[in-house]
Amino acid sequence: MTLHTKLVLLVTALLIVGGTLLFFILERSNPATLAGRSLPHALALSLFQAVVPRTAGFSILSVGEFRDVTLVLVMFLMFVGASPGGTGGGVKTTTLAILIASAWCYLRGCREVQVLERRIPFDVVLQAVTLVMVSAAAILFVAFTLSLWEGMAVLPLLFEATSAFGTVGLSTGITPQLSPPGLVLLSFLMYMGRLGPVTLGLALVVREARLEVRFPEERVAVG
């Protein structure tokens, strides 16, 4: 198998297993979701709710009844999304893998990003960082703008914005309460989430800047 296939399978498995366990732990005592259900039933519901944020907007539990920390977990799953080549949204599983590998290699003092005995080109690392930064900035901008317009709490609006960007469709139930400008802004974010990362990714792949001048190198303190 290629490195791409290995990363997709590995990250997907970790997200499904980890998401299922975390959802079960966080919602097991919530009377509006998992409390009072049998263990197999609760685990099945947790598995379903851990998978659909990355693939589709189906829900068999009331998202508006989730605990705040569970909403954060679901937002993370929606932001990561599916894998490259599919119809799911998000920044993709391979992007997450590259970012984690980059951080791990930096902490170990490596000069190059290495994953599963393979070296990741520096331009691919830059693509992953740029994609995540642009996507996160767009979601935060829309959420904070909606908060100013609508006068609602930031967390539910941030959930709506992340769901729109990931083209997931999950909602805490506040969508009908949004004003027409707010709905238009969410619709724009949905369009950007579907075409933006793909377009940006292709542009970063095919675009190669010509360096007419090579400037002197100078280090900058970070952290």
**Domain ranges, ordered by start, for the chain:** 3-206
- pLDDT beneath 50, residues of the chain: none
Predicted pLDDT of residue 204 = 57
Predicted pLDDT of residue 151 = 84
Predicted pLDDT of residue 67 = 93
Predicted pLDDT of residue 49 = 93
Predicted pLDDT of residue 90 = 86
Element (H, E) at 118: strand 118-120
Q: Label residue 210 exposed, middle or buried (CB < 10 Å: 0-12, 13-18, 19+).
A: exposed
Are the beta carbons of 120 and 108 closer than 8 angstroms? no
Angle between helices 68-80 and 122-150 (to 10 degrees): 140
* Verdict on whether the full-model pTM lies above 0.85: yes
Query: In the chain, what is the greatest distance between 2 CA atoms, to the nearest angstrom?
Result: 67
Element (H, E) at 159: helix 154-165
Are the beta carbons of 170 and 55 closer than 8 angstroms? no
Task: State percent of the chain over pLDDT 90.
Answer: 42
Rounded to 5°, angle at Cα 218 from 213 and 221: 140
